[in-house]
Structures are given as C-alpha cells and as structure tokens.
A and B are shown apart, each in its own frame.
Chain A
Amino acid sequence: DAMVIQNPRYQVTQFGKPVTLSCSQTLNHNVMYWYQQKSSQAPKLLFHYYDKDFNNEADTPDNFQSRRPNTSFCFLDIRSPGLGDAAMYLCATSTLTSGPEETQYFGPGTRLLVL
C-alpha cells in the first residue's frame, strides 16, 4: 500500500543535542510538509518542499532545518533542541493541484521528548 512512513516513532534526546527525524513516502507526491503538534493543540506547519523548492513559514525558528535529498525522503533536523521543542512531529505529502487530489496524507508521527 502507498503510504507515508516516519522513523522513529518515538525519539528521546537531550537538551541541546542535535536530532534528525525522517519521513519517506511511496505516494510519489511532489509536496512534503513538516508539522509540529504540541499537546492538546492543532498541528502547526513548520515548512514544506515543493519538489526541491524549500518554503519556510515565517515563524519557524532557525533551530529547525529540513532536507529533501530526493522525491521520496524528507528530513527534519533540530539543531539544538530545547524543552519547548518536545512535541509530535507530523510529516505529510500531497500533490500540487486542486480538488480532492490536494489532500494531505500524514504519516504516523514521531513523538519527541527532550530531557
């Protein structure tokens, strides 16, 4: 089945220690997104890639970076995690179109804990 995969599902890191979360997709979608979702809140878009074009949200901290080496994979790098970065990180994909095909499909998420 075509899907969005995130690894790891749970990640524990230490305050200030860089961490990388990964996302892969078999849907062949040209857009990939990273969302941050804190407890009891709605997901918040950090950035997205349209093919290789990177689009950062204005309020995304510089501490968050992303890489997309190919269509299938996208990485979220947190350079120096703080306690406030503990959250669920959701990866999603979509096509660049309108209509039902614009639906974003999400992976299972990675829960990040910062000690």
Chain B
Amino acid sequence: AQKITQTQPGMFVQEKEAVTLDCTYDTSDQSYGLFWYKQPSSGEMIFLIYQGSYDEQNATEGRYSLNFQKARKSANLVISASQLGDSAMYFCAMRERGFQKLVFGTGTRLLVSP
C-alpha cells in the first residue's frame, strides 16, 4: 500500500527567504510519479511540480524545486524567495503506475510573513 507522509503541519517563513516542505513516501512500485500541489484558501488545487521515479535530475519549475532522494524515499519541495502569495496549504501526492489514483499527504500549511 502507498503512503505519503508530511510531518510538518505548519511552517513559517519570512518573505524572500527559502523554505523546504518535507515529504516522504512508501511504495513497493518501481515506477511512480510524485507531485506537489498548492491549495490557497479559495480551495483550488494548483499543480506545482512533478518528479518521475526514473528521473535522474531534480525537477525545477521557476521558484519551485523538488529535492528527490529516491533511496530515502523523500521528495521535499523547496520554495526559493518566498512571496506573500505563497501562503497556502501544500500537498505532496503520489500516483501508482497502472492505477489512476493520486494518494495525498495530510498537507503542510505555509505562512509567509512580511
């Protein structure tokens, strides 16, 4: 069975600083996809970044990067130069290959202060 663990219920960061949101996963599959989504208070789930299990390079998308450590089964999200608009809930998720299901972690609430 899959499991996604996000151990930080809440994180605080000052504007313009970098922040790392932790995510560990557990799967017996060799082939899987990892995702990070942002959910502001409006409720929409916004896709941020994707990492495939066979990707050798860490994924990057603008200010977002994914620190993928396959042996440790971790997929931490790094947000550089935090902005006030980054304040939101962040979910880590994984998809089993051969299944359509996304399994989500419990989320981390990020608050960016001026």
Contacts and interface: CB of A to CB of B under 8 A. Distances in A.
Interface of A: 31, 33, 37, 41-43, 45, 48, 50, 55, 57, 88, 90, 92, 94, 96, 98-100, 102-109, 111
B12 interface: no
A107 B101 CA distance: 17
Given A48-B100, A98-B31, A100-B50, A43 B45 contact: yes
A111 B45 contact: no
Nearest to A57: B101
B60 to A, nearest CB: 13
A18 to B, nearest CB: 23
Interface stretch (B18-26, B75-83, B103-111): B103-111
A45 B101 contact: yes
B107 A109 contact: no
A98 B100 contact: no
A107 B44 contact: yes
Nearest to B42: A108
B89 to A, nearest CB: 9
Nearest to B4: A42
A42 B43 contact: no
Nearest to A44: B104
B97 A43 contact: no
Nearest to A31: B100
Given A98-B31, A98-B33, A103-B50, A50 B100 contact: yes
Contact of B100 (A88, A96, A100): A96
B100 A94 contact: yes
B91 A103 contact: no
Contacts of A111: 43
B47 A103 contact: yes
Cβ-closest 9 pairs across A and B:
A42-B104, A106-B45, A109-B43, A108-B44, A100-B50, A48-B100, A88-B43, A45-B101, A102-B33
Contacts of B91: 42-43
A41 B106 CA distance: 6
Contacts of B52: 98-100
B84 interface: no
